[in-house]
Amino acid sequence: MSHKEDNEGKRSPHVTDLYASVPQTCLPIVYHPDYNITFMGLEKLHPFDAGKWGKVIHFLKEEQFITDGNIVEAREATEEDLLVVHTKRYINRLKWSLVVATITEIPPLLFLPNFLVQRKVLRPLRTQTGGTIMAGKLAVDRGWAINVGGGFHHCSGDRGGGFCAYADITLTIKFLFERVEGISRATIIDLDAHQGNGHERDFLDDRRVFIMDMYNRYIYPGDGYAKRAIKRKVELDWGTEDSEYLQKVELHSEGALNEIRSDIIVYNAGTDILDGDPLGGLSISPQGIVKRDEIVFRAAKRRGIPILMVTSGGYQKKTARIIADSILNLHRQGLIGAEAVEGEGSSSSLVTHMMRGSGSAGSTFTAV
């Protein structure tokens, strides 16, 4: 892959703040107020709710599940962090406002000086990217973790698109492979409505990463080259509803986790599958989304595999409430929370033992 060329010759991992120790009193839920993009209303020119991450946190606080003191504050990924996956050429291209306007699909950014674009648009995305990397390590340490942002699955090492400027999923897995002993295989379960062509391009020739991708076959990006990386491909039709969808989620997530012994699951939990989403083209109810997340977390817990969830796409104002409701349901079901990991093994030996023998139309926008 082309992005490897710029990253050759690294003999040992660089020094990073993203793996700093986290107090045991904190839940492995990662967030920072800087996730939210607000700048002169320009964020409203894309259907993405650029403040949804803060709304999720607000709802979780209202339900007294979290406080400011018991969640993990995300740190911004530095250029050196990003260069673990991204080419220097790509990082330099982001210093052109035209490039960022194209990636984020917010045309007026073209006319802004790049220092403003960096501060108001790219810094929030770098902070979310740092949050995903942090949550990857937390998932290994605690058995589960949720980054309330992230899931930029259209970005690869040398190109962005669909509101995705940094390859946080690839970065998280590469950080784990390089820095955490015992993490040598990963499974990506991508249930956003769109194909996750970014991480697919990055891991096209990497047998350590098993990719399951379930998406609307008729919408962006339609990346045939990237599809070659998908080990379990589930292509959905317009308007797929709960019953068929949830049956396929359970069948294929179980199947994916039975295919290889995995040390970490990265779960891309896009809510653009919601009925009425302007870009997703599927017809899943709020209750269906909550149940979907429960199915995936339950499959991970049964096998003792650490799981990291990122929130990815979702283009309606009500998606923040649904994400919060899903997190609360995971807690009620005993799948997350301090009690969820007590007595739960997250070692690869347990995973190995437990897995033996199982075998929108017309829109000019794309999407996360």
| Placement of tokens 């995903």 in the chain | 132
Q: What confidence score (pLDDT) does residue 29 get?
A: 98
Q: What confidence score (pLDDT) does residue 351 get?
A: 33
List the single range of 5-14, 157-166, 250-259, 318-327 with lowest mean pLDDT. 5-14
pLDDT digits over 258-288, tens only? 999 999 999 999 999 999 999 999 999 999 9
pLDDT digits over 187-219, tens only? 999 999 999 999 999 999 999 999 999 999 999
Answer whether 176's CB lies under 8 Å from 188's CB.
no
Residue 130's contacts (CB-CB under 8 Å, 6 or more residues apart) are 18, 74, 75, 76, 77, 81
pLDDT digits over 293-309, tens only? 999 999 999 999 999 99
**Percent composition of the chain: helix, strand, coil (DSSP 3-state, to 5):** 45, 10, 45
**Is 353 a residue of the active site?**
no
Angle between helices 242-259 and 286-303 (to 10 degrees): 20
Global model pTM greater than 0.85: yes
3-state secondary structure of 262: coil
| Annotated active-site residue in 3, 86, 154, 331 | 154
pLDDT digits over 42-88, tens only? 556 555 677 899 999 999 999 999 999 999 999 999 999 999 999 99
Residue 2's contacts (CB-CB under 8 Å, 6 or more residues apart) are 87, 157, 158
Answer whether 337's CB lies under 8 Å from 63's CB.
no
Answer whether 216's CB lies under 8 Å from 177's CB.
no
Q: What confidence score (pLDDT) does residue 346 get?
A: 40
Residue 366 has pLDDT above 60, yes or no: no
Residue 221 has pLDDT above 80, yes or no: yes
Residue 139's contacts (CB-CB under 8 Å, 6 or more residues apart) are 28, 145, 264, 306, 307, 308
Answer whether 236's CB lies under 8 Å from 215's CB.
yes
3-state secondary structure of 352: helix
Phi, psi of 105 (to 5 degrees): 60, 40
